[in-house]
Structure formats: C-alpha cells, structure tokens
Amino acid sequence: MKIFKKFIRLIGQSFKKLIIKMYPSLIAVSIGLVIGFIVMLFFNPSSAGSAFIQLLLGGTNNGSVGIGNTLYGAAPIILTGLAVAFAFKTGLFNIGASGQMMIGAYVSIHIGVLWNLPNHLHWIVALVGAAVGGLIWGLVTGLLKAFRNVNEVVTSIMMNYIAANLIIILIRNNVYNKDAARSLNILDSAQLPTTNLFEGSSFNIGFFVAVIIVIIAHIIIHRTTLGFELRATGLSREGAKYAGMKTKKSIISSFCFSGAFAGIAGGIAYLVSGKTISIAYTIFTEGFDGISVALLGLGEPLGALFAGLFLSHLRQGGFYMQIYGFVPQIVDIITSVIIYVTAISAAIALWIKQIKIKNKNKKEK
C-alpha cells in the first residue's frame, strides 16, 4: 500500500511539473487553432464557425463511439511520439520511427498469420515480436552512431526507405494474399482483446498498453541510473564520458528502447481484425506524426501521451468536419503551425536564458 501511495504521489508531482512546462505548448496550440480558423474562413466563411466547433469537439462528436475511436487512433502515435521523445533525452533525433514501426507491424502480422498459439498468448507473443523487430531496426542506427559517429538523422531516414521496401519482399514471400495484393488477415487469436468500454468503436486494449509503456519510460528516464546516464549523455557527451559513464552504451540503449516503442506501435496498429499491409510502396505516416507529438510534448514521455491524445482528438474532429465541405488536411496545417510556434518559442526562451546568464556574469565581475 505504501509503495502504491508513493507511486501515485510520484506521478502527481511529475504531472504538476509537466503542466508548468507545457505553458509554451498550450500557447502554441492556441495560435495554431486561431490560424487554422482563419484558413477555414478564407475558403468557406459561411460554414467555418460550425466546422471549427466540430474540430474542437473532436471525438466527442459521436459520443462514446467517437471517444473510443480517438483513443484507438491515439495509441500508435503516442508510442511513436514516445520513441522520438526517448531519443531526445539522449540528445539524439530518431527520425526513423516510421521504419521501426513498419518492421514491428510486419513481425506482428507474420506471427499473427503463421504461428498457431493459444488465444491468451498469441497476441502477446505477436506484440513482443513487434517490439523485438523495432528494437533490432533501431539498434542498427544506434551502433552506427555509437561506434562510427554516423549522423543518426541520415541513417534513420535511410532505414525508413529500406524498411518500406523490405516489408514488401517479406509480405510477398511469407504472408501474401494474391487476391487483394496485401498481407493476409491475422488469426482471431492474434487480435488485441477488445472491451465493452466504448461499444461500437474500434477501441481495444492497445491504448492501455501504450499508457503503461509511457509510465514505464517515464520511470526509466527520471528514476533510474540508466535514465540519469541517458540524460547526462544528452546534455553533454564529453562531460558524461569524463564522469566515467559509458556514452556508447547510452546511445545504443536509447535507440534500442526507441525502436522497441515504435515497433510496439506497429503491432498495436495491425493486430486488428481486417488490418493488413499493402504491397504498394508506402511509408507509415504515424512515424512522422511521432515527431510532432514529441515536440509538442516537450520531449517528455508523459508529454507524448497528452500530445498524442490531442492530435488524435483533432484528427477525429477533422473527419467530422467533412460534413461542412472541409478536408481533414486542415488538421495537418494546424499541427504544422503548432510545431513551428513551439520551436520558435523554445528558441526565444533559450535566447532569453542566455541573455540572463550573460547579464548575471557581468554583474558578478
């Protein structure tokens, strides 16, 4: 009981700190919504107000069904956002979450189609397989960065394209449905269990899995020796090395965790009845949504959770906005503005901080 209370208090303290940190993001969201509304007024002034209300209502437009669909859509982008945010903590930019998610998705489908396992184990094994697939894909980038100092942005982008072509080959050779030119449907035993919480929606336990992983990642980053070393490496690699920390190990560990999170995102997205991968060349957009989620969440695991929910909520609102003749891509415009404003506000805050430090140093002299 004491451990449970301590855990709740810890989460409460972290949440309070997060809200204080999120002020710049909240301002950025407000500016993004205002600019989005202006764009809507420009294209269709008569319906802009009603459509904007639909956008703000998001998943609540359709009651519990809409809320369930919002949570269902949030799970993968929360985890890809977490993948990017986790790497941020080590001073790394994992732009390869899309490729890691693709590999995770394929592994989960491969296990879901070809392996015969008991109902209560099949989906778990498939999800673990997705995590391992994403981990291995992230490990490649981590090894190249740690031992050869290859820029992780370049490497991870290349790994995205390799993954996009590789899964086409793997699907054709192993789990190909010739009639539909897609992967085969997974077995019923491999589907993520559903609940009656939001009846009529696509909601499954994937959202709960995402929340649990976010909490675990938060604890690792802020409450463990490994997390301290990861953050120290991100702040100053040379300083961490001077303090006796194994910076190469930190870089590799960071990309392994990051890849595993993105891989699980792929498993959650595709361990669903009727969800298959086309053999047409494509890049999973959820991986790039993860970059937006990580930035909006200020590079924090808990921030990624709330930012992912917000983005999914907006996307649901964009879907319902179509009844007024507006395209859902307006959500992408709003998201882009929010990210730009967030980046600019962070740069301004850093500039002000540097000025204060300089002024303080002058006074001390």
pLDDT at 198: 85
| The total number of residues written for the chain in this structure | 365
Q: Encode burial over 140-158: b for 16+ CB neighbours within 10 A, e otherwise.
A: bbbbbbbeeeeebeebbbb
Whole-structure pTM value: 0.88
Rounded CA separation 178/92 (Å): 41
Rounded CA separation 42/33 (Å): 14
Query: In sequence order, which residues have a C-beta less than 8 Å from that of residue 245 and are 6 or more positions away?
Result: 229, 232, 233
* Cβ atoms within 10 Å, residue 257: 28
What pLDDT, in 10s, does the model give residues 318-347? 888 888 888 777 888 887 887 777 767 666
Rounded CA separation 353/347 (Å): 10
Interval 125-138 mean pLDDT: 97
From start to end of the chain, where are the E strands? 176-177, 182-183
205 falls in which pLDDT band (50, 70, 90)?
very high
pLDDT at 188: 92
What mean pLDDT, rounded, does the chain reach?
A: 87
Amino acid symbol at 282: T
From start to end of 40-196, where are the E strands? 176-177, 182-183
203 falls in which pLDDT band (50, 70, 90)?
very high
What pLDDT, in 10s, does the model give residues 64-86? 888 999 999 999 999 999 999 99
> What domain range is 135 assigned to?
2-364
pLDDT at 272 over 60: yes
Interval 300-329 mean pLDDT: 87
364 falls in which pLDDT band (50, 70, 90)?
low
Q: How many domains does the chain have?
A: 1
- CATH code at position 310: 1.10.3470
